[in-house]
Structure 1
Amino acid sequence: MIDRSSVDADSSIGVTFTHNKFQTATMIRMAGLPAPVHVMVKSYEEARQAADRLGWPLVVKPANLDRGEGVTVAIANDEKLEFAYKRASALSKSILVEREVPGVCYRVLITNGKMLYAIKRSPRSIEGDGRHKVTELVRMATEANDNKPPWLQEKPYPLDALALESMSLAGFTTDSIPEKGEWVPLRRIESTAWGGHIEEVTELVHPENLQIAEQAATLFRLSNAGIDIISSDISRPWYENQAIINEVNYAPYFGGNDIARSAMPAYLKTLIHGDGRIPIEIVLGKDSEMSEARSRQQALLKQGVDCHLTSHSETLKPDGQPMPFPFQSLFNRTSALLMNRHVEALVLSVQTDELLHTGLPVNQVDQLIHLNDEISDWKNPDVSSEATIQKLIEQIEHYLAT
Structure 2
Amino acid sequence: MSTELGPEHTMADTTEPHTTTEAITLGLHDASPQHLVDAMADNVELELGWGRLIFGQTFAEPTELAEALRREGPGRRDICIYARESHVLVAMAPHELFLDPSHTYRLRFTGEQQEAQKSPVAITVRSLRSIADADAMNRVYVRCGMVPAPTEVIWYNHENADAVEYLVAVRDDDDTVIGTVTGVDHERLFSDPEQGSSLWTLAVDPAASLPGVGEALTRELAGIFARRGRAYMDLSVAHDNAAAIALYEKLGFHRVPVLAIKRKNAINEPLFTPIPETVDDLNPYARIIADEATRRGIHVEVLDAETGEMRLSHGGRSVVTRESLSEYTSAVAMSRCDDKRLTRRIVGEAGVVVPRGRLATFDDGDHDFLAEVGDVVVKPTRGEQGKGITVGVTTDEELDSALARAREEHPEVLIEQRAPGDDLRLVVIDGRVVAAALRKPAEIIGTGKHTIGELIEAQSRRRAAATGGESVIPIDEITTATVAEAGWSFDDVLPEGERLRVRRTANLHQGGTIHDVTADVNPQLCRVAVTAAEAIGIPVTGIDLLVPDVTGEEYVFIEANERPGLANHEPQPTAAAFIDFLFPGQPGLPQAWTPEHAPG
The TM-score bracket by the shorter chain reads 0.5 to 0.7
Partners of 1:248 and 1:177 lie apart in 2 by: 39
Q: Which structure 1 segments of 5+ residues have no match?
A: 277-402
Partners of 1:236 and 1:171 lie apart in 2 by: 33
Q: What amino acid is the match of 1:10?
A: T
Partners of 1:145 and 1:191 lie apart in 2 by: 12
- The answer as to 2:579 corresponding to 1:268 is yes
DSSP 3-state at the match of 1:227: strand
- The answer as to 2:358 corresponding to 1:46 is no
Q: CA deviation at 1:21?
A: 0.9
Structure 1 match to 2:570? 259
Q: CA deviation at 1:244?
A: 0.9
DSSP 3-state at the match of 1:120: strand
- The answer as to 2:558 corresponding to 1:246 is yes
CA displacement, residues 348-401 of structure 1 (integer Å, 9 cap, x when unaligned): xxxxxxxxxxxxxxxxxxxxxxxxxxxxxxxxxxxxxxxxxxxxxxxxxxxxxx
Q: What amino acid is the match of 1:177?
A: P
Structure 2 match to 1:206? 522
CA displacement, residues 66-98 of structure 1 (integer Å, 9 cap, x when unaligned): 221211111111111111112122332211111
Q: Within 5 Å, which residues of 2 pair with 1:206-225? A: 206-225=522-541
Q: Within 5 Å, which residues of 2 pair with 1:52-63? A: 52=371, 54-63=372-381
Deviates more, 1:85-94 or 1:160-169: 160-169
DSSP 3-state at the match of 1:73: strand
Return the match for 2:332 from 13, 26, 29. 13
CA displacement, residues 6-25 of structure 1 (integer Å, 9 cap, x when unaligned): 23433432222221111111
- The answer as to 2:65 corresponding to 1:65 is no
Contact 1:57 1:76 in 2 (8 A): yes
Closer, same or farther in 2 for the Cα pair 1:13/1:135, shift >3 Å? closer
Q: CA deviation at 1:232?
A: 2.7
Contact 1:172 1:184 in 2 (8 A): no
Contact 2:434 2:573 in 1 (8 A): no
Partners of 1:9 and 1:153 lie apart in 2 by: 28
Report the structure number with the largest CA radius of gyration.
1
- The answer as to 2:548 corresponding to 1:232 is yes
Q: What amino acid is the match of 1:27?
A: I
Contact 2:370 2:376 in 1 (8 A): yes
Q: What amino acid is the match of 1:253?
A: G
Closer, same or farther in 2 for the Cα pair 1:102/1:152, shift >3 Å? same
Partners of 1:272 and 1:97 lie apart in 2 by: 41
Q: What amino acid is the match of 1:49?
A: D
Q: CA deviation at 1:213?
A: 0.5
Q: CA deviation at 1:42?
A: 2.5
Q: What amino acid is the match of 1:229?
A: L
Q: What amino acid is the match of 2:431?
A: G
Q: Within 5 Å, which residues of 2 pair with 1:354-369? A: none
Closer, same or farther in 2 for the Cα pair 1:109/1:130, shift >3 Å? farther
Closer, same or farther in 2 for the Cα pair 1:27/1:193, shift >3 Å? same
Contact 1:59 1:75 in 2 (8 A): yes
Return the match for 2:433 from 115, 120, 135. 115
Contact 1:254 1:260 in 2 (8 A): no
DSSP 3-state at the match of 1:187: coil
DSSP 3-state at the match of 2:358: strand
Closer, same or farther in 2 for the Cα pair 1:131/1:108, shift >3 Å? farther
Partners of 1:12 and 1:97 lie apart in 2 by: 26
Partners of 1:157 and 1:80 lie apart in 2 by: 21
DSSP 3-state at the match of 2:374: coil
Partners of 1:144 and 1:61 lie apart in 2 by: 28
CA displacement, residues 299-329 of structure 1 (integer Å, 9 cap, x when unaligned): xxxxxxxxxxxxxxxxxxxxxxxxxxxxxxx
What's the % identity of the aligned pairs?
24
Question: When the two structures are superposed, what TM-score results if normalisation uses the length of structure 1?
Answer: 0.58
How many residues of Structure 1 are paired with residues of Structure 2 in the alignment? Answer: 266
Q: What amino acid is the match of 1:51?
A: L
Closer, same or farther in 2 for the Cα pair 1:253/1:156, shift >3 Å? closer
Q: Which structure 2 segments of 5+ residues have no match?
A: 1-318, 588-600
Q: CA deviation at 1:198?
A: 1.3
Q: Within 5 Å, which residues of 2 pair with 1:1-400? A: 1-3=319-321, 4-52=323-371, 54-127=372-445, 134=452, 137-138=455-456, 140-141=458-459, 152-153=468-469, 155-157=471-473, 161-167=477-483, 174-177=492-495, 179=497, 183-191=499-507, 194-238=510-554, 243-255=555-567, 257=568, 259=570, 263-275=574-586
Q: CA deviation at 1:206?
A: 0.8
Deviates more, 1:37-46 or 1:80-89: 37-46
CA displacement, residues 82-137 of structure 1 (integer Å, 9 cap, x when unaligned): 11112122332211111001123211100011111112211122245688774564
Partners of 1:158 and 1:8 lie apart in 2 by: 33
Closer, same or farther in 2 for the Cα pair 1:131/1:258, shift >3 Å? farther
Partners of 2:419 and 2:493 lie apart in 1 by: 30
Closer, same or farther in 2 for the Cα pair 1:178/1:113, shift >3 Å? farther
